[in-house]
Amino acid sequence: MAELNSTIHQPVRLQIMASLMALEREAQIDFSSLGKLLKLTDGNLGAHLQTLEEAGYVKIEKKFVERKPRTLVSLTRKGRYEFEEHVAALKQILG
């Protein structure tokens, strides 16, 4: 039986995880694009991403793309699994 995940259930983190779930597997999204998409400030997004990274749900990579520093975010396999479990638990509540 699937269980609710308190780390994912927090509203902002739920949005971040849902947005990353919409990407293809292995795909990365730019930190600033994700912030713009979810209408989050850099500080707010950064803090929640850190929590998700510590839980092992997201991977954050800093790279130089065309000589500019970019922070790229992607969902880990564990993150995808935990999110699917959380969604299954939500559906179970609805019956």
Partner 1 sequence: MNISKQEAQASLAEIENVISQTRRAIAHGGTGTKLIIWGIIWLLGYSSSQFFRNINGTIWLLLILFGVIASWICGVRNKPLTKNSNYGRVGLFWLILFGYALVWLVLLQPVSSKAVGAFWATIPMFAYVVGGLWFGRFFVWLGLIVTALAVAGFFLLPAWFDLWMAITGGGALILSGLFIRKFWR
- Measured CA to CA, the distance from residue 83 to residue 75 in angstroms comes to 10
- Round to whole Å and give the CA distance between 65 and 49: 21
CA distance 22 to 1: 24
Q: How far is the CB of 46 from partner 1 (least distance, A)?
A: 19
Measured from the CB atom, is 32 or 50 closer to partner 1?
32
DSSP 62: E
Residues that bind partner 1 (CB under 8 A): 3-6, 9, 11, 14-15, 18-19, 21-24, 26-30, 33, 37-38, 72, 87, 90-91, 93-95
For the bound state, the minimum distance from the C-beta of residue 43 to partner 1, rounded and expressed in Å, comes to: 20
- Nearest approach in angstroms of CB 84 to partner 1 is 11
8 is written with which tokens?
């994912």
Residue 79 Cβ vs partner 1, minimum distance, rounded to whole Å: 14
What is d(CA 5, CA 41) in angstroms, rounded to the nearest whole number? 24
Residue 23 or residue 60: which is nearer to partner 1 going by CB?
23
